Amino acid sequence: MQDLITSTINTFDVRAQYPDSDAMNRLEEYFRSGDLRAKASLAISANAKSIITKAVAKSLMYTDITAPGGNMYTCRRYAACIRDLEYFLRYATYAMLAGDPSILEERVLNGLRETYNSLGVPIGGTMRAVQAMKEVTADLVGTDAGKEMGVYFDYICSGLS
């Protein structure tokens, strides 16, 4: 995995160049947003369970998915679903701290769609839940940090679709 700093450096090292002014501005911006990122991470970790609860209530609860025959029917499947949502939230938070989505690619998205398809997990429902998590998280951490987290939730969704 990489963070914004490492990925910038790697890009320029292979060209034997100094980071250009755009890259420097991005780095500066990133360092300046550090306080926001650290605070958001703390808030999310303290409220992770409730974020999942609210997101599920918002997106999946009392739909076909939780009804008998749906993919969240039976506690075992329900538990597997919220476990995955917990993963998504934790990895999105890591990526937000790092300012780089590579950890999502490596640890979450790599082969996930294929796995879900073979298990019969509905991608549409998963994406709805991730989008709901994005909204619930934004309510919790505020607009600026919420927007930044949104980038990584959206990244998960586009990786699934």
Partner 1 sequence: MSIITRSIKSADRQARYLNLGELKAVEDFYQGGEDRLRLAQILVANEAEIVNKGSQRFWQRYPNTPSNTGNPTFRASCLRDQGWYLRLITYALVLGDTEPIDKSGIKGVKEMYQSLEIPLKNLAECMRCLKEVTAEMLSLKDAAAIAPYFDYIIQGFL
Please give the residue ranges that form the binding site for partner 1 (CB under 8 A): 1-3, 5-6, 9, 12-13, 16-19, 24, 27-28, 30-35, 37-38, 41-42, 44-45, 48, 90, 93-94, 97-98, 103, 107
Judge whether 37 and 144 are in contact, CB under 8 Å. Answer: no
134 and 154 Cβ atoms separated by less than 8 Å: yes
Q: How far apart are CA 1 and CA 103, in angstroms?
A: 5
Closer by beta carbon to partner 1, 17 or else 115: 17
| Smallest gap from residue 93 Cβ to partner 1 (A) | 7
Q: Give the closest residue to 65 by CA, choosing from 128, 132, 144.
A: 128
For residue 111, the minimal CB distance to partner 1 (Å) is 17
Residue closer to partner 1 (CB basis): 90 or 113: 90
Q: Looking at beta carbons only, is 42 or 67 nearer to partner 1?
A: 42
Dist CA 49 CA 26 (whole Å) = 33
